[in-house]
């Protein structure tokens, strides 16, 4: 299974509305500063959509967002363009990009400390139904592909994977771990 078009979402504590509103100018400043690894293009505000994508920073190869899909707040990185390397490389890249974005947001004084990492739960999604349909066999294959990444990311600690079995949903798993990862978490 080739894992392309990955989304990685780190769950956070529900942010105050003032933090969510302040995110629009923060994301615009990321565009003007040109300080991200990806070429960033625009900001879309979907705060009016219940349990929706929230505030999205649109990039050429990847998007970042303060996401509220599924009723859970999180910092989400979505890789749209192919990335060289194997599946482990792609998963590590997505995790690093998400951690870096979360780190930047948490440190930004304009957000008044409203971004607080959950630290023991995240979600990985394959946003391509053709390459990865949400079936039992694809879930098994995805689990096998995730194992080396999860071993590294969670430092060998125990974890639990939860899948949504609705075939209309994208292939995704929620990872819950006893290991608490911090924003300074190293993936080297």
Task: Residue 59: count other Cβ atoms within 10 Å of its Cβ.
Answer: 22
Summarised one tens digit per residue, pLDDT across range 51-102 is: 999 999 999 999 999 999 999 999 999 999 999 999 999 999 999 999 999 9
Read off the pTM. Answer: 0.94
Summarised one tens digit per residue, pLDDT across range 116-160 is: 998 889 999 999 999 899 999 999 999 999 999 999 999 888 999
Domain interval for residue 135: 6-177
pLDDT at position 75 is: 97
pLDDT at position 185 is: 62
- Asked if the structure places residue 54 within a domain, the reply is yes
Cα(128)–Cα(170) distance, integer angstroms: 7
Tell me what the pLDDT averaged over the chain comes to: 92
Residue 162 has pLDDT above 90, yes or no: yes
Share of the chain above pLDDT 70, in %: 97
Structural domain tally of the chain? 1
With CA atoms as reference, report the closest residue to 4 among 151, 171, 177.
171
Cα(132)–Cα(87) distance, integer angstroms: 13
First vs last Cα of the chain: how many Å apart?
24
Q: What is the CA radius of gyration of the chain?
A: 16
Cα(51)–Cα(84) distance, integer angstroms: 33
């Amino acid at each position: 299974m080739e894992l392309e078009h990955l989304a990685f979402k780190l769950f956070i504590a529900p942010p105050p509305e003032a933090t969510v509103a302040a995110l629009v100018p923060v994301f615009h400043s990321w565009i003007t500063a040109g300080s991200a690894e990806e070429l960033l293009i625009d900001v879309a505000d979907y705060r009016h959509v219940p349990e929706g994508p929230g505030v999205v920073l649109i990039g050429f190869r990847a998007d970042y967002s303060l996401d509220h899909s599924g009723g859970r707040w999180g910092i989400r990185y979505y890789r749209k363009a192919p990335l060289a390397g194997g599946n482990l490389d792609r998963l590590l890249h997505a995790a690093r990009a998400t951690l870096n974005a979360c780190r930047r947001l948490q440190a930004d004084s304009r957000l008044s400390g409203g971004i607080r990492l959950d630290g023991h739960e995240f979600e990985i999604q394959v946003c391509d139904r053709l390459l990865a349909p949400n079936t039992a066999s694809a879930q098994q294959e995805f689990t096998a592909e995730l194992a080396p990444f999860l071993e590294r990311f969670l430092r060998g600690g125990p974890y639990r994977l939860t899948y949504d079995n609705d075939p209309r949903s994208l292939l995704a798993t929620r990872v819950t771990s006893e290991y608490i990862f911090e924003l300074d978490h190293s993936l080297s």
